[in-house]
Amino acid sequence: MMAPGRRGRIARRTAVIATVVAISLFMEVSGYLATPVDLRPELSWTTVHAMVPLVFAACAGVAWAIGPNPVPSRLMIVFVLFWIPQAFYPVIETLGWLWPILRGVDLGWAVVAGILVLVYPRGGLGDRFDRVIATTALVATVVNFFTVLALAGPDSVPCDCVPNPYRLAEAPTVFAIVDIGYRFVGVALAIAIAIRLLLRWVRGSVPARAVAFLMPVALLSWVSTLATQMIHYATGTPPNLALDTVSLIAMASVPVCFVAGIAHARNMRARVADLMRITREGADRGLWAESLARTLRDDSVRVFWWDEERGRYVDAAGRPIDSAEEGRGHSILPVASPSGLPIALIRHDRVLTDNMRLLDGVSSALRLSVDNGRLRSEIERTLDQVRQSRQRIVEAGDEARRRIERDLHDGAQQHLVAVGMQLRIAANAARASGDDAVAGELEQSIGTLNQGLKELRELAHGIHPSLLSQGGLALALPELAGRCPVPVDIAVQPEGRLAELVESTAYFAVAESLANVAKHSKATRAWVRAYVEGDELVLTIRDNGVGGASLDRGTGMLGIVDRIDAVGGSVGLASPPGAGTTVTIRMPAHLEVSEALPGSGAGLLVAAEPGVEPPDAAAAPDPSNTVAPGVVGSPADR
Amino acid sequence: MVERTEERPLRVAIADDALLLREGIAKVLEGGGIEVVASVGTADELLATIDDLDLDAAVLDIRMPPTHRDEGIVALERIRQDGSEIGILLLSMYATPEYALRVMGAGSGTGYLLKERVSEPQTLVRAVQTVASGGSVVDPEVVEQLVQRTRADDPLARLTERERSVLELMAQGYSNGGIAQTLFLGLKTVETHVRSILQKLDLEESPEHHRRVLAVLTLLGQR
């Protein structure tokens, strides 16, 4: 479905094109018919002559449809109107008010064609040169027009025309000078345009080269024929039919080249989409610059990246660029993020400046990709910081537990034991002196104290099991299993000692899991396995209970899940109702406690991948036949 | 085991990083007629002088500087490696069966007691005397923990209540005579119980006393 506005626009354009085509054909056909038979040009030549405006009109339609702006199409339409055949004058020979006007603008088509070439491909005048050419052409045209109006006699047109009503004086010499001079200026301008176009094409590694070469070729052939015609006209020799035909074909090729150029630019814009794809997928700087060059068909493209640390632009290899100024044939396109931070400079062929939309697309892609990259590395950095800080919090917690346990062990517990000893000495003394009542009191105190000591021992053990720091999981897990009221088969395959954080996390995870087994599972038996698989410590805690457990039931298990998460591990739970519960915990066996952040990787799109740890040299674990060191016999299944 | 005359008191060294306890232990032992010839803060200090002291026994804290882990047990293993058979009694704030097994595994004349036993002078003195004479001592709390461990197909279920009591004392290092005395039983009755227990638990009668303790503890730990 087309929008109504668009449909109306298309209808209007179609009407305009049909109208000018009709006018053009009318002039051509009526002129041909009005010319006496013996003076008529060859039919084939007239046909080719009539074809030229048709080609322009058709190209106007195409340019309207695909072009970036309507100026070229309008110029093409105006060209069609100015394409007035010489043969048309006999038709209007009786209209004294009209023929001098037409005679005044009968080279308008050449001016329009020149401007058309000039605005290629952007549809606007670019630099001073363009404006000078255009101004000169227009001034010359106006001067010529008024000179023709004021001085032209009927002899200046191929007809038996009525006198020119605007004629002010008979000055055939002045008229001839202006008339021929005008053509001379026109040819000179056309040559200048052609040479400029040619130079631009030759010098630049022109992106549009592939198609744009048609334009100068067409223009050159047309200019050369125009020049020949002009010479013929000036010298009064009859025109060469073959040369005239070539000239017509060259003229007709101008709009075709123009439309082809636009289509090519459009195609390049489509390739910006490829650039976007690369942007999305992420690529490094070198690849990006390479695909940019491919997209723009400009091998001379250089991308200089903003280096935030150094506050200057650097090339892909990181070398600082002293100056990235616009040089010969090159333009600089600065690209900045929406917040105004510089991102990069793209040094490209100046010709690309003609294609602002393409460059817009490119800089959008670049902006997007850099923003993506920045965002991504920022998120990864933040995530990494969060992960590390979480790990540090857990480590700090562990450290605090260890310290409390040690303080209890070295402080309160020792003192209480000493108190017990002193009470005993006092009690013995009391008994020796026959004070049995005091002795009894003291002995009772010793009993209470010892009960308190036992509780304190349990408390300290719960805060941090000394056996864990002393003997690792191989000692601590069997001891833990022994405390569980549900019989536990335990198999620990210790890979020597692991990081303290890993050991304590594993210990408390098993402790909490076994507590859940004891509290909720109604199991009669449980199995605990601990082994190292590759780089991972794997713990499984299985029971034959009622199942139906969930990780988010009970804060104890949630805390464990958080702890395991903090060290980069995972917890799996399989607990179908009635079929027991299996908790599977995996965590890195070798944690590196590093405060340093990974390389900040200011690079485009390149987010630093976290370093892969070297694979553990440990052989594949076989937890069924392992022996805990320092333990007589095996704590494993019998 | 060191040959000694009845007149000569036991010569004992103490290693514990807590000065208060070190002094208390010395007091308790001296109260029991034991001569404390050295009192040091680390296992290394003890090892450095042990050859010159002509010791009958040493009392060591398990957790001492520098690592506060198992220095005492490491020292015990070193002493045994060096061929010395003096009695070694290890003290610990925790009753850890795994450590008790490791201590028993080091050979005869070893003991493992909770530190709070210093408030029971007889227990401590008797433990030192036992290890000095080549016997074994395991803290009752360790045995209690081991016995309380719940295992499927528990072999202890095959024992009678009386046999269980005898087993616990066996695990603590009591000799048959000691068991008979503690439980007020005849020696013959205890020997019958012991044979029955060993048979039911599939353990071999061992001529060496400490091997029996070790076997019983291991069995308890393995259940």
C-alpha distances in Å from residue B183, one per residue of A355, A389, B167: 107, 59, 12
Q: Is the pLDDT of residue A628 over 80?
A: no
- For residues A63 and A209, membership in a common domain is answered with yes
Return d(Cα A624, Cα A619) in angstroms, integer.
14
Asked whether residue A444 is domain-assigned, the answer is: yes
Mutation target to probe the A interface, by most A beta carbons within 10 A, among B74, B101, B104, B119 is B119
> Pairing mode, if any, of strands B11-15 and B35-40?
parallel
- For residues A260 and A273, membership in a common domain is answered with no
**Bigger pLDDT: B211 or A216?**
B211
- For residues A260 and A293, membership in a common domain is answered with no
The verdict on A413 touching B (C-beta cutoff 8 Å) is yes
Which of A558-565's residues contact partners 24+ apart within 8 Å by CB, and which partners? A559/A512, A560/A508, A560/A509, A560/A512, A560/A513, A563/A394, A563/A505, A563/A508, A563/A509, A564/A505, A564/A509, A565/A390
Domain of residue A568, CATH code: 3.30.565.10
Q: Return residues 467-496 of A near B (CB < 8 Å).
A: 467, 469-471, 475, 478-479, 482-487, 489
Distance from CA of B94 to the nearest CA of A (A): 7
Which of B184-191's residues contact partners 24+ apart within 8 Å by CB, and which partners? B190/B166
- In 3D space, the residue among B17, B142, B96 whose CA is nearest the CA of residue A411 turns out to be B17
Confidence at residue A608, expressed as pLDDT on a 0 to 100 scale: 36
Q: Is the pLDDT of residue A634 over 50?
A: no
Distance from CA of B66 to the nearest CA of A (A): 13
The verdict on B218 touching A (C-beta cutoff 8 Å) is yes
**Phi first, then psi: what are they for A264, rounded to 5°?**
-65, -45
Distance from CA of B4 to the nearest CA of A (A): 29
Instruction: Pick the residue from chain B with its C-alpha nearest to A418.
Output: B21
Return d(Cα A427, Cα A268) in angstroms, integer.
102
Asked whether residue A237 is domain-assigned, the answer is: yes
Percent above pLDDT 90 for chain A: 23
Maximum mean pLDDT: which of A156-165, A621-630, B9-18: B9-18
Q: Is A129 left (phi over 0), alpha (psi -120 to 50) or beta?
A: alpha
- For residues A283 and A329, membership in a common domain is answered with yes
Yes or no, beta carbons of A466 and B63 under 8 Å apart: yes
- For residues A517 and A419, membership in a common domain is answered with no
Q: Is the pLDDT of residue B27 over 80?
A: yes
Q: What is the DSSP string of A346-378?
A: EEEEGGGGG-HHHHHHHHHHHHHHHHHHHHHHH
Residue A552 burial by CB count (10 A; 0-12/13-18/19+): exposed, middle or buried? exposed
Structure tokens at B209: 């006393």
Considering the four listed CATH numbers 1.10.10.10, 1.20.1290.10, 1.10.3720.10, 3.10.20.30, the one that applies to the domain covering B149-222 is: 1.10.10.10
Maximum mean pLDDT: which of A125-129, A168-172, B178-182: B178-182
Segments of A393-516 assigned E as strands: 488-492
- For residues A278 and A221, membership in a common domain is answered with no
Confidence at residue A632, expressed as pLDDT on a 0 to 100 scale: 36
Confidence at residue A496, expressed as pLDDT on a 0 to 100 scale: 76
**Phi first, then psi: what are they for A377, rounded to 5°?**
-70, -30
Write the pLDDT tens digit of every residue in B184-199.
999 999 999 999 998 8
Mutation target to probe the B interface, by most B beta carbons within 10 A, among A406, A415, A417, A525 is A417
The verdict on B96 touching A (C-beta cutoff 8 Å) is yes
| Domain around A442 | 383-464
Asked whether residue A607 is domain-assigned, the answer is: no
**Bigger pLDDT: A520 or A309?**
A520
The verdict on A432 touching B (C-beta cutoff 8 Å) is no
* Domain boundary pick from A382, A407, A435: A382
Yes or no, beta carbons of A471 and B146 under 8 Å apart: no
Please, which pLDDT band fits residue A636 given cuts at 50, 70 and 90? very low
The verdict on B63 touching A (C-beta cutoff 8 Å) is yes
Q: Is the pLDDT of residue A637 over 70?
A: no
Q: What is the DSSP string of A185-199?
A: HHHHHHHHHHHHHHH
Across chain A, what does the average pLDDT equal? Answer: 80
Quickly tell me which residue has 């009392």 as its tokens. B59
Write the pLDDT tens digit of every residue in A110-138.
888 888 887 876 677 777 888 898 899 99
Asked whether residue A636 is domain-assigned, the answer is: no
Instruction: Pick the residue from chain B with its C-alpha nearest to A447.
Output: B119
Please, which pLDDT band fits residue A280 given cuts at 50, 70 and 90? low
C-alpha distances in Å from residue A596, one per residue of A383, A384, A387, A388, B126: 14, 10, 12, 9, 57
Q: What is the CA radius of gyration of chain A?
A: 47
Nearest CB to B151; choose among A418, A425, A487? A487
Yes or no, beta carbons of B116 and A470 under 8 Å apart: no
Distance from CA of A424 to the nearest CA of B (A): 6
Contact B187, B200 (CB under 8 A): no
Calculate mean pLDDT across residues A331-347.
80
CB pairs under 8 A between A and B: 109
Yes or no, beta carbons of B121 and A478 under 8 Å apart: no
**Least confident range of A63-72, A126-135, A282-291:** A282-291
- For residues A546 and A561, membership in a common domain is answered with yes
Confidence at residue A618, expressed as pLDDT on a 0 to 100 scale: 40
List of chain A residues whose C-beta atoms are within 8 Å of the C-beta of residue B218: 632-633
Return d(Cα A618, Cα A607) in angstroms, integer.
31
The interface predicted TM-score of the complex, written ipTM, equals: 0.87
- For residues A347 and A483, membership in a common domain is answered with no
Calculate mean pLDDT across residues A599-618.
38
Residue A309 burial by CB count (10 A; 0-12/13-18/19+): exposed, middle or buried? exposed
Structure tokens at A292: 């940019």
List of chain A residues whose C-beta atoms are within 8 Å of the C-beta of residue B18: 410, 414, 418
Contact A81, A20 (CB under 8 A): yes
Task: Look up residue A381 and give its amino acid.
Answer: R
- For residues A317 and A180, membership in a common domain is answered with no
Q: Is the pLDDT of residue A594 over 60?
A: no
* Domain boundary pick from A464, A497, A512: A464
CB neighbour list of residue B186: distance below 8 Å, 6 or more residues apart: B180
List of chain B residues whose C-beta atoms are within 8 Å of the C-beta of residue A467: 94, 96, 98-99
Asked whether residue A450 is domain-assigned, the answer is: yes
Write the pLDDT tens digit of every residue in B130-140.
999 999 999 99
Please, which pLDDT band fits residue A290 given cuts at 50, 70 and 90? confident
Q: Return residues 513-552 of A near B (CB < 8 Å).
A: 524-525
Confidence at residue A625, expressed as pLDDT on a 0 to 100 scale: 39
Report the DSSP beta bridge partners of residue B90: B60, B112
- For residues A272 and A260, membership in a common domain is answered with no
CB neighbour list of residue B206: distance below 8 Å, 6 or more residues apart: B212, B215
Maximum mean pLDDT: which of A320-334, A542-556, B72-86: B72-86
Confidence at residue A207, expressed as pLDDT on a 0 to 100 scale: 52
Q: Is the pLDDT of residue A613 over 80?
A: no
Yes or no, beta carbons of A409 and B101 under 8 Å apart: no
Nearest CB to A420; choose among B68, B101, B119? B119
Asked whether residue A608 is domain-assigned, the answer is: no
Residue A584 burial by CB count (10 A; 0-12/13-18/19+): exposed, middle or buried? middle
- Domain spans, chain B: 11-138, 149-222
Please, which pLDDT band fits residue A322 given cuts at 50, 70 and 90? low
List of chain A residues whose C-beta atoms are within 8 Å of the C-beta of residue B69: 469-470
- In 3D space, the residue among A240, A235, A220 whose CA is nearest the CA of residue A183 turns out to be A235
Write the pLDDT tens digit of every residue in A382-438.
998 998 899 899 999 999 999 999 999 888 998 999 999 889 989 999 999 999 999
Percent above pLDDT 90 for chain B: 56
Confidence at residue A596, expressed as pLDDT on a 0 to 100 scale: 37
Domain of residue A311, CATH code: 3.30.450.40
Q: How many helices (H) and strands (E) does chain A have?
A: 17, 9
pTM: 0.59
**Least confident range of A120-124, A290-294, B17-21:** A120-124
Confidence at residue A624, expressed as pLDDT on a 0 to 100 scale: 40
**Least confident range of A256-270, A475-489, B29-43, B54-68:** A256-270
Asked whether residue A199 is domain-assigned, the answer is: yes
Contact A532, A589 (CB under 8 A): yes
What one-character DSSP code corresponds to residue B32? T
Q: Is the pLDDT of residue B145 over 90?
A: no
- For residues A142 and A208, membership in a common domain is answered with yes
Segments of B1-43 assigned E as strands: 11-15, 35-40
Please, which pLDDT band fits residue A353 given cuts at 50, 70 and 90? low
The verdict on B102 touching A (C-beta cutoff 8 Å) is yes
Quickly tell me which residue has 């449809």 as its tokens. A65
**Bigger pLDDT: A117 or B44?**
B44
Return d(Cα A390, Cα A563) in angstroms, integer.
9
CATH number of B11-138: 3.40.50.2300
Asked whether residue A588 is domain-assigned, the answer is: yes
Write the pLDDT tens digit of every residue in A432-474.
999 999 999 999 999 999 999 999 999 999 899 988 888 889 8
* Domain boundary pick from A382, A399, A422: A382
What one-character DSSP code corresponds to residue A320? B
Calculate mean pLDDT across residues A489-514.
88
Percent above pLDDT 70 for chain B: 95
- For residues A392 and A363, membership in a common domain is answered with no
Our count of domains for chain A comes to 4
Yes or no, beta carbons of B222 and A457 under 8 Å apart: no
Confidence at residue A309, expressed as pLDDT on a 0 to 100 scale: 79
